[in-house]
Amino acid sequence: MAVYTTLSAAELAGLMAEYDVGALVSAKGIAEGVSNSNWLVETTGRDGHGARFILTMYEARVAVEELPFFLGLLDHLAAKGSPVPRTIHDRAGAPFRLVRGKAVALIEFLPGVSVDLPNAAQAHAVGQALAGLHLDAADFAGERANTMALPHWHELLSQCGRQGLHSIDPSLPALVETELRHLEANWPQGLPRSVIHADLFPDNVLLLGDEVTGLIDFYFACNDVTAYDLAVTHSAWCFGSDGRFRPEIAEALLAGYAERRPLSAEEHRALPILARGAAMRFLATRAYDWLHTPADALVTRKDPMDFARRLAFYAAEGEKAFSI
């Protein structure tokens, strides 16, 4: 959660005037997004009936040169019917603008709330929406490398050091060493690729009841193995707050996905190792952030051990976790 930058009412009103969205009515800094400042903005709307938007100011972590990919992807997916927010373009047609040297984008507001503990119907709907995203992105022209792929996990964990990992948990250095070696030796090659979300945690899905109303926060989206995205989502959705695997949620997620985009036998066989990779990816960034986040940062550190346990689970019972 964060609002890093303060914008004055005059700056906000001036910014809104650059868009055809009516006049500024309200703006509240919202505690969302880990690396950007966000406001929930209300305007009088084009028709005078009111409209709402998320205004995002990109802080250090998102590079301006990547915005055309991220924002273009939103527009592409929204046009295809995926439940993602459109980018509002300014009067000159630009998808983002600069304010005080920082890029800002005005993004459609979508209803819905994020659930902590999904039910099976919700997991089913998320599986469907993820498959839809992969299908809808098929003819998107943008390309972006995955900056959080296997070599980067290795690099981040090296920077943590054995001692750093040990300070988090004594079992961590051995787990990381064994699993990294296994992943590097066995990472699947030649699987179908596409644009993937790469970070579809419950935080990044809006739901109304059992319906998906929004997939948001595409700032890790990239081109990579399509089934890896399903493995990421599996690792993020299918465990209870006690860390226990929830087979009924996994089954619903996989079934929902397969309804819209059936997996090939090869993809299905790869899911356990892809999930070990997904768990390693989040273990790597959380361990790095745990050791490198200053104690006074305005950010809540996430426990790396949640994903160490999921990694160990996938290593031991990966086949079971993906049998439908």
Q: Which residues bind its own copies (CB under 8 A)?
A: 1, 3, 8-10, 12-13, 24-32, 40, 42, 109, 111-117, 206-208, 295-298
Under 8 Å between Cβ of 38 and 56: yes
7 or 263: CB nearest its own copies: 7
Taking the least distance from each CB to its own copies, the nearer of 72 and 112 is: 112
Q: Which is nearer to its own copies, 10 or 141 (CB)?
A: 10
Closest approach of its own copies to the CB of residue 317, in Å: 28
CA distances from 224 to 99, 188, 230 (A): 33, 12, 12
| In the complex, least distance from residue 116 CB atom to its own copies, rounded to whole angstroms | 4
Integer Cα distance of 275 and 232 in angstroms: 6
CB-wise, 47 or 116, nearer to its own copies?
116
- Coil, strand or helix: which one is 304? coil
> If phi over 0 gives left and psi between -120 and 50 gives alpha, with beta otherwise, what is residue 100?
left
Report the C-alpha gap between 52 and 42 in whole angstroms: 4
Please report how close the Cβ of residue 138 comes to its own copies at its closest, in angstroms.
Answer: 30
Q: How far is the CB of 306 from its own copies (least distance, A)?
A: 16
| Nearest alpha carbon to residue 324 among 239, 262, 250, 273 | 250
Instruction: Give per-residue burial for 149-182: e unless 16+ CB within 10 Å, then b.
Output: bbeebbebbeebeeebbeebeeebbebbeebbee
60 and 131 Cβ atoms separated by less than 8 Å: no
Nearer to its own copies, 73 or 207 (CB): 207
What is the nearest approach in angstroms of its own copies to the Cβ of residue 217? 13
Q: How far is the CB of 132 from its own copies (least distance, A)?
A: 22
Residues 6+ apart with CB under 8 A from 210: 119, 121, 122, 124, 125
Instruction: Identify the residue whose tokens are 């100011």.
Output: 57
Handedness of CA 133, 136, 142, 146 (dihedral sign): positive
The one-letter code for the residue type at 240 is G
Q: How far is the CB of 31 from its own copies (least distance, A)?
A: 4
Q: How far is the CB of 90 from its own copies (least distance, A)?
A: 20
- Our CB check for its own copies shows the closer of 112 and 142 to be 112
**Residue placing its CB nearer to its own copies in the complex, 177 or 211:** 211
Cβ distance to its own copies smaller for residue 112 or 164 = 112
